[in-house]
Amino acid sequence: MYRMYKDVCRVKNVKTVTLEKYRSIFRENKLSFFVPKKDQCKTCLAQKNISEEDKNEKEATFKRHLEKKEAARKVRDDDKATAKENPHILAFNFDLQAVLTTPKGSAGQIFYLRKLAVYNLNIYNLANQDVRCYVWDETQGKRGANEIASCINDFIMSHNGISAVRMMSDSCGGQQKNSIFAAMCLQLCANHPTLLTVDHQFFETGHTEMECDSIQSKIERKAKHVPVYTPDCWAQVIRDSRISPQPFVVKNFMFDDFLDFKTFSVDSYYFSKIPWRNVCFLHYEKGEPSKISYRTNFAEEYKHVDCCKPIGNRGRPKQSLLHRAYQEIYP
């Protein structure tokens, strides 16, 4: 920047100040250079860098993209305010952190060792800022929709006396925007003693700024200079990542904690009528054990789908049982 400043002064025939003076002016005026975020929206970047002619052609599509972003954030803010006022409403967002490799350290030999993958699902309670982290390694389970659904099911079932759940996540189809997670929500409404409704909102792709992001940042900063040799060490690092308002709660999930929602989904329901790619809102009710209401836009009315899977000539629904996903740890 200083070299560019000197070039401009040379063209305008203006005397330049010294580099130290240049820096002091920046400090006095509290100026800084913008550092682009790592995860930027590809739609917004594309709109910014295309020609003016193409911008005009895609203006309507880009406007809808921004409207969805603002609508999703407004719903999140409304749910947050409602949950703070009503203790019977559980509002939270969740996200799966990037793989935590084990061992991790500064010793050169560690770089050449075979790494064990450790997974961390972060859940942030919007009403009271409580955080629960579900941690498991690849010997206990995979990094997929079935494992995430099992953790969310455990988290919601641990809350007694709630009548409504309002959860928010990104739009990752492989993790939570799919039939496996939907089957978990239907089963949850049926089995929870007090729960009446479940709402699942998806943020617009590229604009999923959630409270969970701050959780992951704290964990990454804490682990930056801390050696980690076992999965239990990761659990301790996560606990120590925040002190106020309260430390993160860590729950270690073992292989026998995961439920097989994948098989349960295939055997019990038929989800092909739901346009998963375009869905932004899913609604489940206790009184409708096999029906899902969805929106592809926050401003539109709900569309309803009966996901019951009939079998035989008489169309009787198949009764499927929910079993454990794993019988033993991976070797």
- Give domain status of residue 302, yes or no: yes
How much is the pLDDT for 36?
54
- Give domain status of residue 272, yes or no: yes
How much is the pLDDT for 135?
96
Band (37; pLDDT cuts 50, 70, 90)? low
- Claim: this prediction has a pTM higher than 0.85: no
How much is the pLDDT for 2?
83
Band (192; pLDDT cuts 50, 70, 90)? very high
Rounded Cα distance, 278 and 284, in Å: 18
Rounded Cα distance, 45 and 29, in Å: 30
- Give domain status of residue 46, yes or no: no
User: How many domains are contained in the chain?
Assistant: 1
For residue range 220-277, what is the model confidence (pLDDT) as tens digits? 999 988 889 888 999 999 999 998 889 999 999 999 999 999 999 998 899 999 999 9
The residue segments making up the domain with residue 208 are 71-317
For residue range 177-188, what is the model confidence (pLDDT) as tens digits? 999 999 999 999
- Per-residue pLDDT at 316 exceeds 60: no
Question: Angle at the Cα of 276 (from 271 to 282), degrees rounded to 5?
Answer: 80
Contact 55/47 with Cβ under 8 angstroms?
Answer: yes
Instruction: Determine what percent of the chain is predicted with pLDDT higher than 90.
Output: 51
How much is the pLDDT for 176?
92
- Give domain status of residue 149, yes or no: yes
- Give domain status of residue 323, yes or no: no
In this prediction, residues 90-103 reach a mean pLDDT of: 93
How much is the pLDDT for 284?
96
How much is the pLDDT for 147?
96
In this prediction, residues 194-218 reach a mean pLDDT of: 86
Q: Locate 54 and state its tokens.
A: 């193409």
- Give domain status of residue 232, yes or no: yes
Rounded Cα distance, 111 and 92, in Å: 37
- Give domain status of residue 102, yes or no: yes
Higher pLDDT, 273 or 63: 273
- Give domain status of residue 24, yes or no: no
In this prediction, residues 26-37 reach a mean pLDDT of: 71
Rounded Cα distance, 163 and 184, in Å: 17
Rounded Cα distance, 29 and 261, in Å: 57
How much is the pLDDT for 46?
72
For residue range 103-146, what is the model confidence (pLDDT) as tens digits? 888 777 777 677 899 999 999 999 999 999 999 999 999 999 99
Residues whose CB is less than 8 angstroms from the CB of residue 5 and which lie 6 or more positions away in sequence, other chains included: 16, 22
Q: Locate 224 and state its tokens.
A: 């930056």
